[in-house]
Amino acid sequence: MENNSKRGIVYLIGAGPGDPELLTLKALKYIKEADVALVDDLVGEEIRKLVYKECKEVIEVGKREGKHKKTQDEINQLMFSLASRGKKVARVKGGDPFIFGRGGEEAEFLAERGIEFTVIPGISSAVAAPSFAAIPLNHRKFDPGILIMPGKEKEGEERIDWKAVSDLKATIVILMGVSNLEKNVKRLIENGKSPDTRVAIIESATTERQRVIEGKLSEIVEIAKKEELKSPAVIVIGDVVSLRDKLRGSFVRP
């Protein structure tokens, strides 16, 4: 991407779900072009090593629940400051920048201040995790829709209509939902979702640590507690999960 401005530019880069081979060629190209990288915690370890190898300067800006190396406001100001000094800034995020990655907020912040940016899409864990668990998100025998949603909202700004979600004929994919699993399962059942609906939770998807736990909606919370489920994990809710029983015996992980 040609940049004729005297200012620098920000690359909003999706690094994918963790497997280094799922990093796109375009993402790698822009990581190599960058002067400085701002890296999130959910970026895969091998990709993180690559960023450190290719970039002269790397700043860790990860945000996990209760553990923020930088606030979002600080990250925004850092991007603006670096780009204003003529730097090419790689903002490296896990998954895709525009799927619950706050990439839209960052793009808006930059645009309001006249800073050029580009977006490099990444493979979201919402898609990759079910695939690596032998679960097709879409199949003609099952619900036709796919709903991707966050597992939690900002306190005091709850806008999810759980009745509409429960009634929707769609496979539900929940990201960042481990800490709110019990609350969200209760909301679904109370709003009419069948307790017998199949659920799979994919922990550390696409990495060597990946594991999958399964159960019915009514029992998945207890199973998750017993298995000591940890984030990051992708939650898939829908009867299409039942196909895993048939597919897993022949499925070879890529």
Alpha helices (runs of H) in 34-145, residue ranges in sequence order: 45-54, 72-84, 103-112, 125-132
Residue 139 CB neighbours (<10 A): 15
Looking at the annotation, which residues are catalytic? 40, 63, 176
Angle of the 103-112 helix axis to the 72-84 helix axis, nearest 10:
50
Cβ distance 53 to 32 under 8 Å? no
Burial class (CB in 10 A: 0-12, 13-18, 19+), 111: exposed
Nearest-5° Cα angle at 201, 136 to 46: 90
